[in-house]
Chain A
Amino acid sequence: MRKLISILFVSALWFFTSCNSDTFQEHEIGDNLIDKSTEVHLIDTFTVRSATVKLDSLLTSGYSNVLFGGYHDEFFGEVSSEFYTTLGLGGAFEMGADANGKKNVKLQFDSLVFIGFPDTRYYGDTLQEQTISFHKLKEEIDLPNGQIGFYGHHTIAHDEVAFGSASFYLKPRKQSVEIKTIGDKTIPEIERERDGLRLRIDDAFGWDIINRVNADDDTLQNIFKWRNFFNGMVLKPGSENSALFSFKLGAPGMNLRLYFTYEGGDRGYHDFPVILAAPRQGENGLAYYNFSNFVSDKSSTPQDLGRIVEETEELKSEETDDLAFIQGGIGFYAKVKIPYVENLNNLGVTGGVLKSELIFYPLEGSFDNSIFRLPSSAISVYVTNRDNNRVMALTDSRGAALRAVYNNYTEHKNESYYSIDLTSYVNDILTNGQDYEDALLIGFPYESIGNTIDRMIIENDPNSDFRIRLKTTYVVQN
């Protein structure tokens, strides 16, 4: 009996405990009774200082495309990019065999054509005529030990006189495609003439090659001899060019194509391709034997941006009409300092940041919808120090690189702004402190800046509503 009672009793306990109300359901009732132990403030009055810096050593090798061309920019001055590259042999180039099996049929020069495929990216005005000229290099493109690519400031001596040149109109979208078929009929390579950008250049260099082929010269049969014969070339934009654009490398890539006819009538061609990566002479592995060289003349820009020379220098926004500049290719970054953010720690007993956003506006009138557009590239943030070293890239909570977000208000265009979520960064400063020289670099991702066209001008007039602001929602624990 007693056992029975005990068992009944314990089972009853179990039964009744299981019919308790859930602890964690939401209840609105009583919300007005509770007095606050915390207060939540939005604070956006932090001092935000800005400057412009120019980073060195921007890698311009190894991308699957290359930037080429130039434009004139009201704020950034003259900007141009030249393309240095070796030219592959594309296999032994020898006399042909005719249909009857007769060997060593001589070749007749037809034309020398540059073939390139722009991709759709461009910056500047494509309605103007652009020019391109081809110059032989006087030295071999050779990489220093341990280096697999080149930086944007690198140059190599070359002939002043071009071995070829041409003018064209850039149609980035149309010229980017290969037309391989018409209907279901495949067009043979030799008959394809309308796709990409095809520019006939001077004959002289083509004649030289054909003559060597007909003389059975082994320069065109051995890759090393070919390299000794032809160090490489540089593609230069004309001084009046108005667009910076991108050529694809790889497939379809850039070629110098030599068209010829066999004695007897058949047409043929030989491609000297631009190769993305080539084996290193005397070393293991591949290396990039081509690169862009960015040139920018900023001496007559309104804010005299030519004043920045060394990477460790900074040009304060106070000295540049309260503006900060970012530019791909050249390597301009906006440097942003928020020196007093730690003062949040003086509020209440403690507290925490629920959200902290850096907000900045592109200078009104510095961009438009057609020629000088707002960046299409991602905008990254780096933690930096006095010497403008990139200490680390900021990441989001999932570890992905932090990007600026463009908040576009189509109704009120001038109120559109960029924002960067700095919540974790600011919380870390509040917990761990920051040095006086700690700052952020805002600009295009460093790993691809040598291949980035865009630019932007950021407003930071301390008296303007459009200044750079740190908008912080802070919980104060009283």
Chain B
Amino acid sequence: MWNVRMNTNFFNSTGKITALLILGLLLITSNVFSQNNTSSPYSYFGLGERMQNMNGNSAAMGGVSYGYKRGDVLNLSNPASLSSIDSLKFHFNIGTTFKFSKLNQGDKSDHFNDFNLSRIAFGFKVSHRYGTALSISPYSSLGYDITKRDKILGDSRSVIRSLLGTGGLNQFVWSNGVQLSKDLSLGVNGIYLFGNNTRSEDVVIEGGASTVYSGKTELISKGLYFNLALQYERTFGDYKINFGGMYQPNISVDAKKITSVYVSNSSASRFEDEDRGTFDVPESFGVGFGLNKGKHLWFGGDYTHEKWSGTRIFDEATDLVNRDKFSLGMEYNANDGYARKFIKKMTYRMGGFYDNGYIKVGGNNIDSYGLSLGLGIPMAQQKGMLNIAVEFGSTGTLNNNMVREDYTRVTIDFNLFETWFVKRKYQ
């Protein structure tokens, strides 16, 4: 049997982790730092802009993750991979994303910088065959701020409409991976989806009128869903191939919707309503493969399908569309274990993706594509890895006077290890 003993002060570490988790929760869920995770007008649609919350390794490879398995990486997109994380270590992963974007429309453009914490996770091996992880990451974000001039029907004057979307949904995920046989691992993510999508609309008559009409809707999510995953691995001589898969059923997530309407200079609110209901997370599946050649080279590809079409938000049909995402990526680990030069110690990654998006505006799918590059930099004394990914991408189109967002997204992600479970030779 496996004898577990810690050589560091467990309680000290737990304290630190708890502190970091609380900090992470604050950063992700609150407006303490008045951050907005996105500035895209497309975040008006659906549940908001879907957030990338993959680890730094995947981010550098176009998001490939289903067939990816490494002992030093918490690959939560495929929890089956957790069955083979390094058993002697406590894994801690924190990722941050900086997005520098330029919105283009016609001959106008606008620049935004958005920062967000993309995830905090920790995980460890419970037993030889079972690994588990807890993580917090954003699921979707609202960050639109649009001013619009509209005609008053029956009048020559206009109104100015200000539409503001803030907040977003976050997920608290318990990931579990179990190795069933030498080749096959299964995984499950249990997800608590929480947060607050707040949309407000202010209307005033253009030019000096003092009365403001303010409508506000909050979608407050407090519900559970899950997804299942597997990884199947075979070795052929120098090659190792790994197939990954993911399935998520359509689940109605419990939520609350609060609607209120105020008119300034008026004594009471015009309308207040609190409604309990659900919104759908779509049935989804994903398949992918990963191919290792020797110890240094890895190549993989993913396909994900999310059935957003037909999903409902508070019993109202959405006009969302099904999403397909294709990713390809590769990784080259230059370190043969004896490297002395820094360059030789690093891991190099690259990849690309195409995503047709889950919203359709004016007949156009709001799709995205991008290329990514990345580095994995080992930290001293095998304390962890620093992964940096840079993604150059584009969302939307300029056709039909729509908005295209050109962005550079930099992901900085720390994988930290703490050696917990070492059986000392001499006590």
Contacts and interface: CB of A to CB of B under 8 A. Distances in A.
Interface of A: 1-2, 9-10, 12-13, 16-21, 23-34, 36-43, 349-355, 397, 423-424, 427-428, 430-432, 473, 475, 477
Given A354-B213, A355-B211, A473-B205, A19 B266 contact: no
Closest 9 CB pairs of A and B: A30-B41, A42-B155, A350-B271, A352-B263, A31-B148, A17-B33, A42-B154, A427-B266, A21-B112
Contact of B145 (A19, A24, A40): A24
Contact of A352 (B145, B164, B270): B270
Most buried by B among A17, A27, A29, A32: A29
A21 B36 contact: yes
Interface stretch (B103-111, B123-131, B179-187): B103-111
A173 to B, nearest CB: 37
12 contacts: A16-B115, A17-B115, A28-B146, A29-B109, A41-B154, A350-B270, A351-B261, A355-B205, A427-B211, A427-B265, A428-B267, A432-B268
Contacts of A42: 152-155, 157
A150 B39 CA distance: 70
Contacts of A355: 205, 209, 211
Contacts of B215: 37-38, 477
B166 interface: yes
B403 interface: yes
A352 B213 contact: yes
Interface residues of B, number: 70
B107 to A, nearest CB: 11
A33 B44 contact: yes
Interface string B168-183: 0000000000000000
> Chain B contact residues: over half helix, strand or loop, or mixed?
strand
B356 interface: no
A30 B211 contact: no
Q: Name the prevailing secondary structure of the A interface residues.
A: mixed
Interface of B: 23, 27, 33-36, 39, 41-42, 44, 94, 96, 98, 103-105, 108-115, 117, 143-150, 152-155, 157, 159, 161-164, 166, 201, 203-205, 209-211, 213, 215, 261-263, 265-268, 270-271, 361-362, 380, 383, 401-403, 414
Contact of A29 (B98, B105, B149, B155): B105
Given A351-B270, A354-B211, 17 more contacts: A10-B23, A13-B117, A16-B115, A17-B27, A23-B34, A23-B36, A27-B147, A30-B41, A30-B103, A31-B148, A38-B215, A42-B153, A42-B155, A350-B271, A427-B211, A431-B267, A475-B159
Given A33-B361, A39-B153, A352 B147 contact: no
Contact of B205 (A16, A30, A354): A354
B147 A349 contact: no
B150 A36 contact: yes
A424 B209 CA distance: 13
B35 A17 contact: yes
A352 B261 contact: yes
A23 B108 contact: no
A179 B87 CA distance: 109
Contacts of A30: 41-42, 44, 103, 105, 144, 146, 403
Given A19-B115, A26-B147, A354-B205, A428 B402 contact: no
Contacts of B33: 17-18, 20
Contacts of B401: 32
Which one of A16, A28, A37 has the greatest number of beta carbons of chain B within 10 Å?
A: A16
A77 B59 CA distance: 90
A475 B203 contact: yes
Contact of B362 (A33, A37, A431, A477): A33
A475 B213 contact: yes
A430 B164 CA distance: 26
B31 to A, nearest CB: 9
Contacts of B27: 13, 17
Contacts of B403: 29-30, 33
A397 to B, nearest CB: 5
A381 to B, nearest CB: 16
Contacts of B110: 27, 29
A354 B209 contact: yes
Nearest to A2: B383
